[in-house]
Amino acid sequence: MKIDLLCRVIDNYGDIGVVYRLAKALSALEPTLELRLIVDGLSSFSALVPEIEPCREEQRCRGWEIYPWELPKGQARQRFRAYRPRLIVEAFACGKPAWYEELVFDPADPEPRTILNLEYLTAEDYAAEFHLFRAATRSPLVRKFFFMPGFTEGTAGLILDRDFAATRERLSDPAGRQAARLAAARRAGLAFSAADAARLWVLVFSYERDFRRIVADLAAYGQQRPLLALVAAGRSSSPFFAAWEEAGRPFPAHQIPFLRQEAWDELLLAADVSIVRGEESLARAALGGRPFLWHAYLQDEAHQLVKVQALLDCMRPHFAPEDHAVLSSLFLAFNDRRVDSPASGGGEALLPFLERLPSLETGFASFARKLDSLGDLALHLLTFFREIG
């Protein structure tokens, strides 16, 4: 079986991160599978997988063929003519480069082609409504379907790649967790002591915002239980450290360099509480089964609040009503903004969330088990392609 994965990089590493994870998961499930990745942001891909060279016209990595979006005319294009696209995954309705579109809609090609539009992750009801729903194309030989990740039955679920599952297993063993946390920190360039390992680890990876209230609540909770912050490189780093400095450095906070995906997963799973953003990190945090706070991608007219409420509705059955009330209030306040800036937000209360951590942990673990029960998106995808022939 040969599958083409197409991806355009919209927001740094989120989209390509999903495609990379999907490629890993598909290859692990079906070692004889031939994968061709056509990516418009090879430099972003290279940041996740340093073996990838951003400027090469064609290359192989982990057994995959990797091509740039604008593939120059040459041998590589000839290869696509010889082995025409038959099974295609368009990540997030990314469309196709013109040269590829020509091949897919070539009227002289009599064989059927199947495209799955792997859509963005949402907890809204429409994920189940659109999953595997037929999408129109201009050719009867090109069949297209929506393929919806999600948090509920009737969707494709989330990608449960083996690397992630193994890391989660390792970090969920209470006997080995502290040592595994220290190892994860080491791989992120942090030399932590056993005392550091015993602290509450709070991972911060959001869009830019006002962190003064978050830092104040962390500082207050730090009086009860020692904690440290692990601040990921990127948009939240500078405003977080500004608030932390302004508060007089009330707890240890460490800048995390950009990490390759496997190391990032490990650190996320090593953290006790995480603030995550977008969709890929949300999926990892949710599957990780530990308390998290989600910063949703900003949308027009604050539509992100609809998406946050939908997620909260999915999570509701897994939490005691009073825990869910605290969770809802925090998630909605944290996401109530019209713009991402170091001055936006600030109306949220993290402290009540932190004070309920023991019971919240049970709820988040239950939610993760529910997500596991939906199965692996990559396996669902392979099964669909096999069945459709």
Partner 1 sequence: MIMTGDIHGGTVFKVGNDVYIVQRMLGIKGGRNGQVKRLRVKNIVTGSTCELGLDMGEKFEDVQLDYHKMKLSYIDGDTYVFIDQESYEQYELTKEDLGDNAGYITPEDDFEVEVCFYEGKPVGMTLPIAIERTITYCEPGVKGDTSGKTFKPATLDTGIEISVPLFCEIGTKIKLDTRDGTFIERVK
Residue ranges in contact with partner 1 by CB under 8 A: 10-11, 90, 92-96, 117, 119-120, 122, 124, 126, 129-130, 133-141, 144, 146, 297, 299, 303
- Rounded to the nearest 5 percent, the helix, strand and coil shares of the chain are 45, 15, 40
Counting DSSP H helices and E strands in the chain, the numbers are 17, 13
Q: Which residue has the tokens 């953003």?
A: 277
Burial level of 134, CB count in 10 A (0-12/13-18/19+)? exposed
Which is closer to partner 1, CB of 121 or CB of 214?
A: 121
Which is closer to partner 1, CB of 43 or CB of 299?
A: 299
Q: What is the CA radius of gyration of the chain?
A: 22
Which is closer to partner 1, CB of 71 or CB of 298?
A: 298
Give the shortest CB-345-to-partner 1 separation in angstroms: 19
Give the shortest CB-297-to-partner 1 separation in angstroms: 5
Burial level of 349, CB count in 10 A (0-12/13-18/19+)? middle
Give the shortest CB-301-to-partner 1 separation in angstroms: 8
Give the shortest CB-23-to-partner 1 separation in angstroms: 19
Query: Which two tokens mark 19?
Result: 């495609």
Give the shortest CB-271-to-partner 1 separation in angstroms: 25
> How far is residue 352's CA from residue 200's CA, in Å, rounded to a whole number?
16
Q: Which residue has the tokens 């449960």?
A: 160
Which is closer to partner 1, CB of 144 or CB of 181?
A: 144
Which is closer to partner 1, CB of 116 or CB of 269?
A: 116
Residue 301 carries which DSSP code? Answer: G
Which is closer to partner 1, CB of 93 or CB of 320?
A: 93
Give the shortest CB-129-to-partner 1 separation in angstroms: 7
